[in-house]
Structure 1
Amino acid sequence: MDNDNNNNSSDAMPTVMVTNDDGIDAPGLRSLVRVLVSSNRFRVLVCAPDSEKSAVSHSITWRHPVAVKKVDIDGATAYAVSGTPADCTSLGISEALFSSVPDLVISGINMGSNCGYHIIYSGTVAGAREAFFNDIPAVSVSYDWVGGKSSVDDYKLAAEACLPIFSAILAEIKNKSYPLRGFLNIDLPTDITNHKGYKLTRQGKSIFKMGWKQVISERQGGKMLSSMEMESDSSARTENDTSTVPAGHLLFKREVRGAVLDEVDTDKLSLQEGYITVTPLGAVSPAETDVHSFFKEWLPSAIQQFSSSAL
């Protein structure tokens, strides 16, 4: 669809494609693109949702076409898409929209961290995972935004802190030594200026325990960040208000009722300690060894017992 016109110097540059789940106008994505472009190291493509698609996980549009609109972003070739983050990545790497396949897909920078079990909910992580499904190196990037402490300027610092990682990945890709059996999830601490360095971590089990409460309007229920973190900044997000409940309907909203944290060396704990966490991920999280061992013994006996009792 697009010939991705660039100057001659761009021919030698690696191509990166940026997507996200906060939408193409989100400050995290715009800061990331500006840093990538200004570094003059990359040819930059953007294929991102036309509106916020937070916490949609790896959902895709299947039965209907998606609408695509070209967007002006200095130094990049950019399109807004009506679909999900996974849709955007799939379309962007397909050669149906752009004339070439990107060398690296970067999803982010998300407003809020994506650690532990929250990775499953994340549309940001899904944007990178979709590239991984198609054997294209990918990175998801999230910033641990905290209302009252963070500002949009922190996205620029977060993007700059990730540049060495992006460059190193692309060097490995050029040398054909980059592993395709996983992708990376990067989380940057709230106080990015004083971060403690880069730390390789593993996905933990941190998660917010959530319940439901009945409300009379959207506004009464409040709104959580895409990362499902509790800290939010009212100036950074808008919310739709329905002042009355539609006839015959009840309104319920999720609410946080506690949290489960991790042991040492996991992504969430290391992030809270001030590290930039770099976590290798795969397509799915396999069951732990003891669980697999249990079912290995359980399945034959269960089938035998209940098949006999059914006779």
Structure 2
Amino acid sequence: MLSSQISSFISTPPIKLSPATSPASIRPLLPANSTDLHPKDLRRRKHSRCSLTFIFTHTKAGSANKFHAWNHCSQGITTSGRTQTSSLGLRRSPATMETRSGDATESTFRPTVLLTNDDGIDAVGLQYLAQLLVAANRYRVLVCAPDVDNSGVSHSITWRRAVSAKKVEIKGASAYAVSGTPSDCASLGVSGALFSGLVPDLVISGVNIGNNCGYHIVYSGTVAGAREAFLSGVPSIALSYDWVGGKSNVQDLKLAVELCLPVINAVLNELKNKTYPKGSFLNIDVPTDVTNHKGFKITKQGTYMIRIGWKQTSLNTPAIASYQTANLEGTFMDTEMDVVSDPVQDQFLFKRVISRIGFGEKDDEDTDYRSLQNGYITITPLGALSLTEIEDVTYFKDWLRHLVDHSASSSSL
């Protein structure tokens, strides 16, 4: 049922939308001869940091966690607690854009979209997505993302200390760099505490480099950002591009961002019509060969996983280069030099290493990773509950009966 509801707004069979034939309305960042652009023309600038900084701590309100704002001088900041209805008819605060037609002034409501990620606020994937949404001039764009790379932190949260939110400059958007995890950023961004009572209509987490399929969804900070918004009652999408070293470049990443815009618009349209299912959020992965993708496909989570082992080392260095360290030629460079650690008695250093890539027996052609490798842009509806294996439930019911019988017989001895 859920798959059919989601399929209805992206059509079936899978849609083919190539960069060459994309409508101009979804290609505001690239000129007509974009295929001739050199990656150096897409240079990423470091964004200037403003001096405005807020400090936030968790507070309890009923059964929900809320944020309380303080500035760096520990003086309370008053934020609006009012909840309004947005142009989409949701429990949101509205954003308006005024246009003049003759002597009349027309007010057009724009949905509010919050961006977050796990690669950090300076990651090019998030920057491209922000630029695309701002250039479309159809959305109010908010950004609340980690101030440093938080890849692979899963759904961890900051509880024992306050987090800071520092104003940063992203043209056309209201943006903050937060000293927390992706889940912190999503939670803070939708709480109303950071953006003066404004709550987004949609949260988008990404665009991540590297796919987030199979069991990697458990580890993904990108997916966790979307999941946290979903848990807070805000519709959300996680976006990832299947970056492959030696094949991918930033132009591919930029095209991957563009290809996701029709889905974003479709979700917002469904929200406006109140026909969007509330029981899930979406995890979208774009294949490596962006220009030759086979279209969108609804998939299910598989069991794909890169198995990780451990190796003793004397070097204190990152095991895997981060997305944020990708240079404009599409290769990776370490941001830290290998540091030889002084030996300490009874202390050892270990680093993660890739051991093998594995699939489960149940992974068919409709699972996320297999479909991604077959060239589809995969759309996987996800929830927050762990799925129960029916056959295992039957086993454990029988196991529990034997356990109770065994305990009864043991107590009588």
Which of 355, 358, 380 is 1:260 aligned to?
A: 358
Deviates more, 1:58-67 or 1:171-180: 171-180
Change over 3 Å in CA distance of 1:242–1:284 after alignment to 2: farther
Cα separation, 2, equivalents of 1:34 and 1:155: 13
Aligned to 1:31: 128
8 A contact 1:223–1:239 mirrored in 2: no
Structure 1 residue 6: Cα displacement: 7.1
Structure 1 residue 258: Cα displacement: 1.0
Aligned to 2:220: 122
Cα separation, 2, equivalents of 1:254 and 1:307: 46
Aligned to 2:400: 299
Aligned to 2:374: 273
Cα separation, 1, equivalents of 2:114 and 2:408: 53
Cα separation, 1, equivalents of 2:343 and 2:204: 41
Gaps of 5+ in 2: 1-76, 81-93, 100-106, 324-329
Aligned to 2:260: 162
Cα separation, 1, equivalents of 2:267 and 2:333: 32
Cα separation, 2, equivalents of 1:11 and 1:57: 38
Q: How many pairs are equivalent?
A: 304
Change over 3 Å in CA distance of 1:240–1:287 after alignment to 2: farther
Cα separation, 1, equivalents of 2:387 and 2:364: 19
8 A contact 1:217–1:245 mirrored in 2: no
Cα separation, 2, equivalents of 1:59 and 1:202: 24
Cα separation, 1, equivalents of 2:334 and 2:264: 29
Report the TM-score, using the length of structure 2 for normalisation: 0.70
SS of 1:211's equivalent in the other structure is: strand
User: Which digits, 9 at most, give the CA deviation of each residue in 1:158-212, with x for residues without a partner?
Assistant: 1110111011111111111111110000000111111110011000000112211
8 A contact 1:19–1:85 mirrored in 2: yes
Structure 1 residue 299: Cα displacement: 1.6
8 A contact 2:95–2:109 mirrored in 1: no
Report the TM-score, using the length of structure 1 for normalisation: 0.91
Determine if the alignment matches structure 1 residue 217 to structure 2 residue 315: yes
Change over 3 Å in CA distance of 1:194–1:298 after alignment to 2: same
Determine if the alignment matches structure 1 residue 207 to structure 2 residue 308: no
Instruction: Give the 5 Å matches for 1:85-164.
Output: 85-98=182-195, 99-164=197-262
Instruction: Give the 5 Å matches for 1:43-122.
Output: 43-98=140-195, 99-122=197-220
SS of 2:163's equivalent in the other structure is: coil
Deviates more, 1:206-215 or 1:51-60: 206-215
**CA RMSD in angstroms, aligned pairs only:** 2.1
SS of 1:294's equivalent in the other structure is: helix
Cα separation, 2, equivalents of 1:306 and 1:245: 54
8 A contact 2:297–2:377 mirrored in 1: yes
Change over 3 Å in CA distance of 1:101–1:246 after alignment to 2: farther
Q: Which runs of 4+ in 1 moved over 6 A?
A: 1-6
Cα separation, 2, equivalents of 1:307 and 1:243: 59
Change over 3 Å in CA distance of 1:100–1:301 after alignment to 2: same
Q: Which has the larger radius of gyration?
A: 2
8 A contact 1:136–1:180 mirrored in 2: no
Cα separation, 1, equivalents of 2:154 and 2:393: 25
Aligned to 1:229: none
What residue identity is the alignment partner of 1:238? Answer: T
SS of 1:93's equivalent in the other structure is: helix
Cα separation, 1, equivalents of 2:216 and 2:237: 16
SS of 1:63's equivalent in the other structure is: coil
Identity over aligned residues, as a percent?
55
Change over 3 Å in CA distance of 1:27–1:41 after alignment to 2: same
Cα separation, 2, equivalents of 1:257 and 1:180: 38
User: Which digits, 9 at most, give the CA deviation of each residue in 1:120-164, with x for residues without a partner?
Assistant: 000000000001101110000000111111112222211110111
